[in-house]
Amino acid sequence: MAGDAGDTPLPVAVLISGGGSNLQALIDAQRAGELPIHIRAVISNRADAYGLTRAAAAGIPTRVLSHKDFPTRAAYDQALSALLEAVDPGLVVLAGFMRILTPGFVAGFHGRMFNIHPSLLPKYPGLHTHQRALDAGDTEHGATVHFVTDELDGGPAVLQARVPVLPGDDAERLAARVLAQEHRIYPLAVRWFATGRLRLDDAGRVLLDGRALTAPLDLADVIPH
Ligand code: GRF
């Protein structure tokens, strides 16, 4: 399989809408020799996404596919599918891609599309996760890498990182603490996939090293501090 030790790196497409710090974490891990992937394309739905600058600086081809140029969500997703087909990725990585995807699009990448979400899913799918955690009085918060399915932020979870909610936190401070952990868990989950250790089985279960996870892994258990 592509990405197996000594093999060709796994072709990857990264979809972004904004800053692209998770994209940068993947680029950095790849450059450090820790991630056997080849990012063939970075696609943004926004022309002003800073992540495009990061990609260009890393010599990665970029494309902007603006949702404003399409009359419907389905039409946009069809164009996005066509773009991705040309890239032919083994894995599609959603890294701050702020679009709800149609079931048809998602089905085309079943078992080979990841998302990262800034909460401890199943808590707080959707937007404003940090403020919602604060409003609920949570003492811990975090981020989750999951396979993408039709259900918004609801696909099978792979890996989570937890952070404390500290006195005096506002959404911005909490978001920064979570984002630092996102930069750890995303490259790790992508590495597992790229090396053939991680997959989704036909029953929709996450298999790591052939064993089904009953709950998402916790970074603290994977990499002891
Ligand atoms: C991250 O918090 C990610 O979890 C969320 O959007 C943010 C993207 O950040 N979906 P960046 O563009 O990777 O810096």
**Interval 71-81: pLDDT, tens:** 999 999 999 99
In short, whether 117's Cβ falls inside 6 Å of ligand 1 is yes
User: Using one digit for the tens of pLDDT, what is the confidence trace for 61-101?
Assistant: 999 999 999 999 999 999 999 999 999 999 999 999 999 99
The alpha carbon of 179 and the centre of ligand 1 are apart by a number of angstroms equal to 7
User: Quick check: 224 pLDDT over 90?
Assistant: no
User: Using one digit for the tens of pLDDT, what is the confidence trace for 100-137?
Assistant: 999 999 999 999 999 999 999 999 999 999 999 999 99
Domain presence at residue 98: yes
pLDDT at 7 (0 to 100): 73
User: Quick check: 205 pLDDT over 90?
Assistant: yes
Ligand 1 atom closest to the Cα of residue 21 is 14
The residue range of the domain holding 62 is 10-222
pLDDT at 1 (0 to 100): 47
User: Quick check: 47 pLDDT over 80?
Assistant: yes
In this prediction, what percent of the chain has a pLDDT beyond 90? 96
What average pLDDT does this structure show over 151-180? Answer: 97
| Three-state SS annotation for the chain | CCCCCCCCCEEEEEEECCCCHHHHHHHHHHHCCCCCEEEEEEEECCCCCHHHHHHHHCCCCEEECCHHHCCCHHHHHHHHHHHHHHHCCCEEEECCCCCCCCHHHHHHCCCCEEEEECCCCCCCCCCCHHHHHHHCCCCEEEEEEEECCCCCCCCCEEEEEEEECCCCCCHHHHHHHHHHHHHHHHHHHHHHHHCCCEEECCCCCEEECCEECCCCEEHHHHCCC
How does the average pLDDT of the chain come out, rounded? 96
Model confidence at 3, in pLDDT bands (50, 70, 90)? very low
In short, whether 95's Cβ falls inside 6 Å of ligand 1 is yes
Domain presence at residue 107: yes
User: Using one digit for the tens of pLDDT, what is the confidence trace for 15-28?
Assistant: 999 999 999 999 99
The alpha carbon of 197 and the centre of ligand 1 are apart by a number of angstroms equal to 25
- The count of structural domains within the chain is 1
User: Quick check: 181 pLDDT over 70?
Assistant: yes
Domain presence at residue 3: no
Domain presence at residue 111: yes
What average pLDDT does this structure show over 144-155? Answer: 96
Domain presence at residue 159: yes
Domain presence at residue 5: no
User: Which CATH number covers residue 144?
Assistant: 3.40.50.170
Which of 27, 28, 178, 182 to mutate for ligand 1's pocket (most ligand atoms within 8 Å of CB)?
Answer: 182
Domain presence at residue 179: yes
Return the residue whose CA atom lies nearest to atom 9 of ligand 1: 96
pLDDT at 6 (0 to 100): 55
Domain presence at residue 174: yes
Model confidence at 2, in pLDDT bands (50, 70, 90)? very low
